[in-house]
Homo-oligomer: A and B are copies of this chain.
Amino acid sequence: VRPRFYSPDVTAAGIFPLPDDESHHLQHVLRLATGAELSVFNGRGQEWGGRVTVSPKRGPVMVELIDEIVPPPEPPVLVTLGIGVLKGDQMDTVVREATMLGVAGIVPFTSDHVTVSPRAWASGAALTRWTRIAVASAKQCGRAVVPAIAAPEPLPVLIDRVAAEVRLICVEPRLTAATSVSGALGPCAGRAAVLIGPEGGWSDEEVALAQRGDYRCVHLGPRTLRAETAPTVLLSALWAVWGWS
C-alpha cells in the first residue's frame, strides 16, 4: 500500500509542494526518498498516485501526481453528527471513529449538561487538534474525504443552522417518544443530522427544542452506552439501513 498524504490545495494532476507538516512526516517519520511512490488526497474526495520528485533539506517536498485514483465510495447520505462536547480523549475517539464511519461533518455543541469548560476550546487549539485527528483517521481508513469540523456552538444554534431531510436525536430508551433508530428510518437520499448528547444527557427543554426543530427521538437499545461510543453505534445502524456506500 502506498503511503497517503493530505494536501487540500490539489485539484488536478501535476507537480505540487506538500504542506509543511506532511513534508515533515514524509521526510522524518516515513523517511521516503526521492522517487518513492505515494498518493495524495485533497480531503474533498479526490486522490492521485504519484511520486516524490524533490525532497530538500529546507522547504517543502515536491511531488508529481500522475494518475487519479478512485477512492472508496462515500456513504449514500451526507450525515452531520452533532455531539455534545466531551472531554479530550473521548472527543478524539468520536472524531476518529466518525471519520472512519463516513460522516460528512461534525458539529460539537454546548448544552445544559456539558461539563467541559469553554476555555478548553476558546483558543482554537481544540478545533485544530480535532481536524488533525480527522485527517489522520482519513489517511488510515483509506477515505479521501475529511469531514468538516465546526467550532463548538450552542445547541439551539446548531438546530437552527444545520439543514437536513432526516433529523434524529438520540435519547434514553425510557423516553416514551423514542423508537429504535432502525425502526425510525425510511429511505433517505440527501442529508441527515443526528444529535448525540454529552455524558450528562439532555435536559427536558433540549429534547423539546429538538422536537420543535423536527428532530425525531430515537434510541440505541436498552443498555446505557458510553457517550464516546454512541456515535459509532448510531452511524453503523444508519449504514446498516441505508447501505454502506
Chain A: number of interface residues, binned into ranges: 20 to 34
B224 touches A181 (CB 8 A): no
B240 touches A141 (CB 8 A): no
Q: Could you tell me the distance between the alpha carbons of A225 and B141 in the complex, rounded to whole angstroms?
A: 6
Taking the closest CB of chain B, its distance from the CB of A124, in whole angstroms, is 28
**In this complex, what residue of B is CB-closest to A219?**
B244
Q: Any chain B CB within 8 A of the CB of A232?
A: yes
Q: Any chain B CB within 8 A of the CB of A156?
A: no
A224 touches B180 (CB 8 A): no
Residue in A180, A219, A240 with the greatest tally of chain B CB atoms within 10 Å: A240
Chain B residues lying within 8 Å of A222, measured Cβ to Cβ, are: 72-73, 142, 244-245
Give the residue of B72, B97, B224, B234 whose beta carbon is less than 8 angstroms from that of A140. Answer: B224
User: Copies per complex?
Assistant: 2
Chain B residues lying within 8 Å of A200, measured Cβ to Cβ, are: none
Q: Mark A234-245, 1 if CB is under 8 A from B, else 0.
A: 101101110111
Taking the closest CB of chain B, its distance from the CB of A245, in whole angstroms, is 5
**In this complex, what residue of B is CB-closest to A242?**
B182
Give the residue of B142, B143, B229, B234 whose beta carbon is less than 8 angstroms from that of A97. Answer: B229
Give the residue of B102, B220, B223, B239 whose beta carbon is less than 8 angstroms from that of A237. Answer: B239
Q: Could you tell me the distance between the alpha carbons of A104 and B44 in the complex, rounded to whole angstroms?
A: 41
Q: Any chain B CB within 8 A of the CB of A101?
A: yes
A224 touches B141 (CB 8 A): yes
**In this complex, what residue of B is CB-closest to A185?**
B240
Instruction: Give residues in A with beta carbon < 8 Å to B.
Output: 72-73, 75, 97, 100-102, 140-143, 180-182, 219-226, 229, 232-234, 236-237, 239-241, 243-245
30 interchain pairs, CB-CB under 8 A = A72-B222, A73-B222, A97-B229, A100-B223, A100-B224, A100-B229, A102-B221, A102-B223, A140-B224, A141-B225, A142-B222, A142-B223, A180-B244, A182-B239, A182-B240, A182-B241, A182-B244, A220-B236, A221-B244, A221-B245, A222-B244, A222-B245, A229-B232, A232-B233, A232-B236, A233-B236, A234-B236, A236-B236, A237-B237, A237-B239
Q: A221-B245, A232-B236, A237-B237 are in contact. List 7 more A-B contacts (CB 8 A).
A: A72-B223, A73-B222, A140-B224, A141-B223, A143-B223, A182-B244, A221-B244
